[in-house]
Amino acid sequence: MRKKSVFVLILICSVSFAFGQNREKIDINEGWRFFRYENNPDSLIYDERPAVFDKNDVKDADTRATLQNHGNASNKSLKMYILPTANEFIKDKNKHYERPDGNPGKDFPFVKNDFNDSNWQYIDLPHDWAIDKPFYTEENAIVGGGMGRLPVQGVAWYRRKIDIPKSDSGKEIYLDIDGAMSYAMVWLNGNLVGGWPYGYNSFRLNLTPFVNFEGDNQLAIRLDNPTNSSRWYPGAGIYRNVWLVKISPVHVAHWGTFIKTENISEKSATITISIDIDNNSTKNQDVEILTDIYRLDNNLKISGNKVATFPKQNIVIEAREKSKIRNTVNIKNPLLWGVYPQQEQNMYLAVNRLFINNKLIDTYETRFGIRDIKFDAKEGLLINGEKIRIQGVNQHHDLGALGAAFNLRAAERQLEMLRELGCNAIRLAHNPPAPELLELTDRMGFLVIDEIFDCWEKGKNPLDFHLIFPDWYEADIRAFIRRDKNHPSIIAWSFGNEVGEQYTDESGAAVAWKLAALVKDEDSTRPTTASMNFAKPDMPFPQTMDIISLNYQGEGIRDAAAYSHLKGIRTPPLYPAFHQKFPDKMIVSSETASALSSRGTYFFPVFAGNSAPVSEGSGGNDTLRQVSAYELYTSPFGSSADKVFAMQDNHPFVAGEFVWTGWDHLGEPTPYYSSRSSYCGIIDLAGFKKDRFYLYQSRWRPELPTVHILPHWNWESRTGQITPVHIFTSGDEAELFLNGKSLGKKKKDKFEYRLRWDSVVYEPGILKAVAYKDGKQWAIHEVKTTGIPVKIALSADRNVIDADGKDISFVTVRILDSDGNLVPNADNKIWFEISGTGEIVATDNGNPADMILFASKERSAFGGLALVIIRGKKGKEGEMKLTARSERLDSGSVIISSR
């Protein structure tokens, strides 16, 4: 018998980010000037790009990636001046790039200190230049549905002066950019410093050689966002935070610590820290290193005295060189980090202090957690000895009506709703997130698969990042892992999603092996993976990863009768085949379902089976561009939740799933590419729950008394017609009543996840579902035929927010009848106005086909609901009053305080 192996991960945790007085990290998000061209007028190109002849982005998400054109650097390109930024992350020094002579761009007006930018737009970062603009609604638009129909294209410049006083002379000055979309190039005082093309990675530039230590310094940042460069909405601009860092020439390197834990028991845990130290001074330095560990409270603040101290170390570092040290200490009675809700999210802080001649020169802090993770081919995922079923979702990086500009509260709200759903894991599709998102997943107890690439050498769009992959893959991977490797929430690294190299046998596997080796070189403690929607067990591609990640193949792709007429990848359910081929590797479904629906929208007749592709007359309405919310309809390659659940329950060795997707996202609007956003979320773009929310909640939170009826019961035109009623419940049986008359009691059969009454004849009144569990009443839900809309009601998710210009409140707008019932088919147009200390940032309603710009203060309700996002003005304490008005309806208002 073959011996079962268990991949063990015992770890770790969060990013270094807070500093002592000898190290300054300064937020420079405020006070930028912004200017955008739709085309490229300045000729300061990163590289020549291939011509695009096919701009059509209407294609299934599982279309094979085949494009392979990397272009050639021309004498106009700045590529060779930007590539040296990657040297820090290229291990073989013989492969480092040497910067050519010269200073390209020095004569361009926008980089000069004396250029007058007073007529440019005044903005604060993070900034997404496209999100508040009108959608392209015409056919053959310059930006199509795949990229969200928003004006992301063009060249943009950001300028800001930074004051660096003479007292900083002798320090090193760095610019840290957490994310800029895309092809970022940076000038300081007219000097080209460097840049980073991949818009999702964070990066650092050394400004020191170009700094004027007498006062004002002019930063100029150029971005270049091409069309046909993404399969989803990429955002546009400097859409994450930007920092100025001032440190001693001898310091802990950027992302320079790595903390591992092992030998974990109730009594103790062994902590090993690796510290990279840079000596950028002109002489050898004798450095003393002291490191202490503290506990953190729930707000990630130091709680009490230090709990451990590493042995003191001394090291001599040669001039202009780097050095790595390792040190070990034991912590008594460790408090473990674990997944919510079964476990607690305990965190620690390691504080490194560097001394030269007894003088403190640098302080560096790293948050981390102590946890024991095992990946077992039969049992699945075990955390701190407890089996944890992965109940995950995929998440894109946009924040709905806020676009790609990162906002901490908006991201927290998304995670709060996912936690209510019963979700315990996030796969970051398909790129590194804002660093603050991982701070949230640490604090809130989510498991994370952190992902880096959607394509490698073979592209999916003519101008996507396959163009830069050969030059940047090593730097991108190493930077990605170094930034994130200390987060306890991250359990695995994914180095690819549905890449074209799946199709190319040994040559594709060779690329995968190369990338996997880079990941392991940076972090050998976590498993590697890459998701597969095509590669089969007998191919070389799946051999390259520690975890088998299957996109849709577990439950089968286009294998059911309802999908038989479709073209594309077709495969039977492959959980057993992969398990047989790789008996020592854990299997997880990295993408499941891709079910589609429009919240509160229902079409008839209803499919009699459990899964079918959307088409006109079968779950879809091409005129309305909506998908029926009976939650049975899917993308061409997808499956309903019901089918996925059955396949996973039939194969209990599967560790769990990541549903495609948790929230709707901008772009990728399958099946209607004239829309603005996706239909696949369990929660819509505005943050309103679809019916599918309760189907997943019933499965993922079986202890929560849940019963949910669909559809709504406002069907005046269907009186006397069959109108199927379905029930989602965490109970095991339910009885349905219409106007007090029982329509029968039904019990879930094995591998059945909804209860169906498909012959109900509509009559207005009250539908009532009574669910039972183990023979006892469990939960009750009623759906009523409502009256006509008469009034508007507003409610805020938070009635008190910070007056910092960043904090926001999400206000739900409901259209109600005279009895206070939500009118589920109301679509009244609503006008919004605000007074006092706040401003309206955006409005939405969750309708993928609504092409009114997000910045509009007018919005029609969709399914009786709309959303207004409110922000407090910076420094303005007091009250703001939001009022909503509509013709023939009583207005509504809500008061929010800022402090």
Catalytic, out of 451, 591, 631, 668: 591
Q: What is the pLDDT of residues 458-470, one digit of tens each?
A: 999 999 999 999 9
Distance between CA 535 and CA 505 in Å, rounded?
9
Task: Answer whether 642's CB lies under 8 Å from 754's CB.
Answer: yes
- For residue 248, the model assigns a pLDDT of 97
Mean pLDDT value across residues 748-768: 98
Task: Answer whether 274's CB lies under 8 Å from 325's CB.
Answer: yes
Q: What is the pLDDT of residues 438-453, one digit of tens each?
A: 999 999 999 999 999 9
Positive or negative torsion for Cα 277, 281, 287, 291 = negative
- For residue 61, the model assigns a pLDDT of 78
Residue 348 has pLDDT above 50, yes or no: yes
Task: Answer whether 366's CB lies under 8 Å from 14's CB.
Answer: yes
Catalytic annotation present for 172? no
Distance between CA 146 and CA 148 in Å, rounded?
6
Residue 1 has pLDDT above 50, yes or no: no
Q: What is the pLDDT of residues 862-872, one digit of tens each?
A: 999 999 999 99
Say what the pTM is: 0.96
* Residue 41: band (very low, low, confident or very high) from pLDDT cuts 50, 70, 90: confident
Catalytic, out of 172, 474, 498, 631: 498
For residue 843, list its beta bridge partners: 868
Q: What is the pLDDT of residues 106-143, one digit of tens each?
A: 999 999 999 999 999 999 999 999 999 999 999 999 99
Identify how many contiguous H helices and E strands the chain contains and give both numbers.
8, 50
Residue 124: burial class (beta carbons within 10 Å; 0-12, 13-18, 19+): middle
Task: Answer whether 739's CB lies under 8 Å from 699's CB.
Answer: no
Helix, strand, or coil here: 720? coil
For residue 878, list its beta bridge partners: 898
CA 411 to chain centre: 9
* Residue 75: band (very low, low, confident or very high) from pLDDT cuts 50, 70, 90: low
For residue 589, list its beta bridge partners: 550, 657
- For residue 202, the model assigns a pLDDT of 98
User: Which amino acid type is present at position 267?
Assistant: K
Residue 60 has pLDDT above 90, yes or no: no
Cβ neighbors of 102 (< 8 A, separation 6 or more) are: 81
In this structure, how many other beta carbons lie within 10 angstroms of the beta carbon of residue 577?
A: 15
Task: Answer whether 673's CB lies under 8 Å from 682's CB.
Answer: no
Distance between CA 705 and CA 482 in Å, rounded?
43
Catalytic annotation present for 498? yes
Residue 774: burial class (beta carbons within 10 Å; 0-12, 13-18, 19+): exposed
Task: Answer whether 629's CB lies under 8 Å from 710's CB.
Answer: yes
Task: Answer whether 778's CB lies under 8 Å from 865's CB.
Answer: no
Q: What is the pLDDT of residues 602-650, one digit of tens each?
A: 999 999 999 999 999 999 999 999 999 999 999 999 999 999 999 999 9
Q: What is the pLDDT of residues 13-37, one digit of tens each?
A: 433 333 345 899 999 999 999 999 9
Cβ neighbors of 812 (< 8 A, separation 6 or more) are: 688, 794, 795, 796, 797, 865, 866, 867
Among residues of the chain, what percentage have pLDDT more than 70? Answer: 97
By C-alpha distance, which of 636, 652, 632, 467 is closest to 556?
636
- The H or E element containing residue 189 is none
Helix, strand, or coil here: 104? coil
Q: What is the pLDDT of residues 379-421, one digit of tens each?
A: 999 999 999 999 999 999 999 999 999 999 999 999 999 999 9
Mean pLDDT value across residues 195-220: 96
By C-alpha distance, which of 128, 146, 144, 131 is closest to 236?
128
Mean pLDDT value across residues 523-534: 98
Residue 7 has pLDDT above 80, yes or no: no
Among residues of the chain, what percentage have pLDDT more than 90? Answer: 93
Mean pLDDT value across residues 172-181: 98
In this structure, how many other beta carbons lie within 10 angstroms of the beta carbon of residue 871?
A: 24
Distance between CA 769 and CA 778 in Å, rounded?
11
